[in-house]
Amino acid sequence: MSTSASGTSSRILVVEDEPAINDVVATALRYQGHAVSQCDDGLDGLAAAEREHFDLIVLDVMLPGIDGFEICRRLRDAGRFSPVLFLTARDAPSDRIKGFVTGGDDYLTKPFSVDELVLRVAAILRRTGQAAPADLLVLGDLTLDPAGHEVRRGGTLIELSPTEFRLLHYLMNNSGTVLSKAQILVNVWDYAYDGSENVVEQYIGYLRRKIDDDRSPLIHTKRGVGYVMRVAT
Ligand code: CA
């Protein structure tokens, strides 16, 4: 049995043409339990936001095709009022941004810290009443509380390093699905990390010692494919 955070999490669209920034923002927001869609082009972003509802849009201003202000204006004209957090370059005309940022919206100037972005997103979602506490993840007698940053097995608190916690969070969020080492590396490690996939094996080993130990295993190896978390049957 497992529950995922996606049921009550917010739906967020990230529109940003710089892949590294797009990925780091999306990863940080997924880590908060949100369901994140990514677009790297202005017209694709506009189409996505017209097609489905998002609780918040992280919108780069300088985009190929159509700029962030124009996307926002067209969405408002079409009666779509998802709050927008603009990402702007340092030398962007800040008066125009301030003039544009109204009622629940906000902006961040690049380079920004991911922590600040996460805090601002949380503040906007709170203001707009769309914040949902991240769900407890449950797999058998293992629980992970994203908000309290706590992991327990059979009620016993288990101390994890930040990387171990991120890895377990990702595995539990996808429990029942076999994940390749490459997939795990991309989703758990920093976007700038360019080391080998051996680090995944190493950290799976650490987690096994802490989570599974001599209990019935929850972390399983699919030889030649990757790893999957599930209750042994
Ligand atoms: Ca850009």
- CATH number for the domain harbouring residue 205: 1.10.10.10
Q: What is the pTM of this model?
A: 0.53
Are both 16 and 112 inside the same structural domain? Answer: yes
CA of 110 to the centre of ligand 1 (A): 10
Instruction: Give 60 Cα–ligand 1 centroid separation in angstroms.
Output: 6
Distance between Cα 106 and ligand 1 center (Å): 17
Given this model, what pLDDT does residue 58 score?
A: 96
Distance 19 CA to ligand 1 centre (A): 10
Residue with tokens 């082009």: 41
CATH no. for residue 72? 3.40.50.2300
Residue 93's pLDDT is what? 66
Q: CA 205 from chain center: how many Å?
A: 24
| 45 touches 39 (CB < 8 A) | yes
Res 95 pLDDT > 70: no
**Same-domain check for residues 23 and 113:** yes
Rounded alpha-carbon distances, angstroms, from residue 124 to 1, 88, 114, 154? 33, 17, 15, 36
Q: Which of 26, 9, 232 is nearest to 139 (CA)?
A: 232
Residue 23 has a pLDDT of 96
Instruction: For residue range 125-142, list pLDDT tens digits in order.
Output: 888 765 444 567 888 889
Q: What is the pLDDT of residue 5?
A: 37
Same domain (yes/no): 28, 124: yes
Q: Is the pLDDT of residue 92 over 70?
A: no
**What's the pLDDT score for residue 133?**
47
Own/partner contacts of 151-159, CB < 8 Å, gap of 24 or more, are 151/211, 153/211, 153/215, 154/215, 158/210, 158/211, 159/210
- Does residue 164 share a domain with residue 114? no
- Domain of 208? 137-229
Q: 189 and 210: one domain?
A: yes
Report the percent of the chain where pLDDT is more than 90.
Answer: 49
pLDDT for the residue numbered 119: 92
| Cα–ligand 1 centroid distance for 174 (angstroms) | 31
Last residue in a domain, options 76, 103, 129: 129
Same-domain pairing of 94 and 10: yes
User: What is the C-alpha separation between 75 and 56, in angstroms, rounded?
Assistant: 12
> pLDDT tens digits for 14-49?
999 999 999 999 999 999 999 999 999 999 999 999
How many angstroms is it from 206 CA to the middle of ligand 1?
39
Same domain, 120 and 146: no
In this structure, are 143 and 124 located in the same domain?
Answer: no
Q: Which two three-digit tokens encode residue 231?
A: 């209750």
Shared-domain flag, residues 122 and 212: no
What separation, in Å, do the N-terminal and C-terminal C-alpha atoms of the chain show?
A: 12
User: Ligand 1 center to residue 122 CA distance, Å?
Assistant: 23
* Residue 106: pLDDT over 60: yes
Q: Count of CB atoms within 10 A of residue 206's CB?
A: 14
Ligand 1 centroid–CA 128 distance in Å is: 26
| Pair 121, 174 in one domain | no
Which of these, 66, 63, 70, lies nearest to 89 by C-alpha position? Answer: 63
Q: What is the reported pLDDT for 105?
A: 75
* Per-residue confidence band for 7, with pLDDT thresholds at 50, 70 and 90: very low
Based on the domain organization, do 198 and 173 belong to the same domain? yes
Distance 57 CA to ligand 1 centre (A): 15
Q: Report the separation in Å between the CA atom of 61 and the middle of ligand 1, taken as the mean of its atom positions.
A: 6
